[in-house]
Amino acid sequence: MDVRTAAEVLLEAESAATARGPITEQWPGLDLRTAYAIQDEALRLRRQRGETLIGVKLGLTSRAKQQRMGIGSPSLAWLTDAMVLPAGDPVPREKMIHPRAEPEIVFVLGRRLAGPGVTAATALAAVVRVHTGIELIDSRYADFKFTMPDVVADNGSSGLFVTGGIGRAPQEVDLTHEAVLLEVDGDITDTATGAAVQGHPAEALALAANTLAERGLALEAGWIVLTGGMTDAVPVRAGARVAAHFTTLGSITVSGD
């Protein structure tokens, strides 16, 4: 298997909403650098079929998730306009394999942010608005079982995402202490604060800018940045209702209808 083939088979699994085995079963020596090359090739193919690049998403930003995966830093993946779920629309379960929802703090950039050397403070200064968000992750691998190179190649288990209608200036929100209650069918299943995301979501944003700089890339003005799940992801089953209630950023709901 090579980079182009791996990108194609993962996109085919996504289009068919059919799970497959990890790429590393066929490519045991796959490393992270090559996994990101697969991710970039998949983005090229997405753009070739008409999708527009609109931002990035971070994964594995909580220390607990990193420890479970045996890694020391988050992962990065691409967002395109095809991944946007309009607010109020049901989750298109027939187009997904096994969607899971996680609440996130979402940044919209007002200016270009380029590393290296970006700090949390300089990163936050580039943010024009902060929103709530729910990311609907959807691994192409059966039972969400994969290694770190597998998930990077699979664009960080990208699926869909929805953002809340309330947008605030970053200085209006205490992002470290901004809390979320995750509710599934009326029951609170988890809670967290912004501190769960690298200690502060702006740290995740800075990390994204500095990581992209290593590849000669930058975060562009107008891009959306999903800073990473604040809690563990919960399955979105048929008929389920998942809601995230934030302290100051409002609430956001997705339905598995």
Task: List, as one string, the DSSP characters of the chain.
Answer: --HHHHHHHHHHHHHHT--B--GGGT-TT--HHHHHHHHHHHHHHHHHTT--EEEEEEE--SHHHHHHHT-SS-EEEEEEGGGB--TTPPP-GGG-SS-EEEEEEEEEESS-B--SS--HHHHHHTEEEEEEEEEEE--SBGGG---HHHHHHTGGG--EEEE-S--B-GGGS-TTT-EEEEEETTEEEEEEEGGGTTTSHHHHHHHHHHHHHTTT--BPTT-EEE---SS--EE--TT-EEEEEESSS-EEEEE--
DSSP 100-157: EEEEEEEEEESS-B--SS--HHHHHHTEEEEEEEEEEE--SBGGG---HHHHHHTGGG
Domains contained in the chain, CATH given: 3-255 (3.90.850.10)
- Distance separating the N- and C-terminal Cα atoms of the chain: 38
- pLDDT value of residue 188: 96
pLDDT reading at 110 higher than 80: yes
Cβ 122 vs Cβ 250: under 8 Å: no
Q: Give the CA distances from residue 136 to residues 73, 98, 102, 228, in Å, rounded to whole numbers and listed in that order.
A: 21, 9, 7, 12
- For the stretch 63-72, pLDDT in tens is 666 666 666 6
Cβ 256 vs Cβ 238: under 8 Å: yes
- For the stretch 77-107, pLDDT in tens is 999 999 999 999 999 999 999 999 999 999 9
Order across the sheet with 241-246: list the strands. 187-193, 179-184, 241-246, 251-255
- pLDDT value of residue 67: 63
Kindly state the percentage of the chain with pLDDT values over 90.
88
- pLDDT value of residue 60: 79
pLDDT reading at 153 higher than 90: yes
Q: What are phi and psi of 10, to 5 degrees?
A: -70, -40
pLDDT reading at 111 higher than 90: yes
Quick one: pLDDT band at residue 251, thresholds 50, 70, 90? very high
- pLDDT value of residue 256: 86
- For the stretch 225-235, pLDDT in tens is 999 999 989 99
Give which of 244, 236, 253, 241 is closest to 95, Cα–Cα.
Answer: 236
- pLDDT value of residue 72: 62
Q: How many CB atoms lie within 10 A of CB 193?
A: 16
- pLDDT value of residue 61: 77
| Average pLDDT of the chain, as a whole number | 94
pLDDT reading at 108 higher than 90: yes
72 or 148, which is more confident?
148
Peptide bond into 22 cis (omega under 30): no
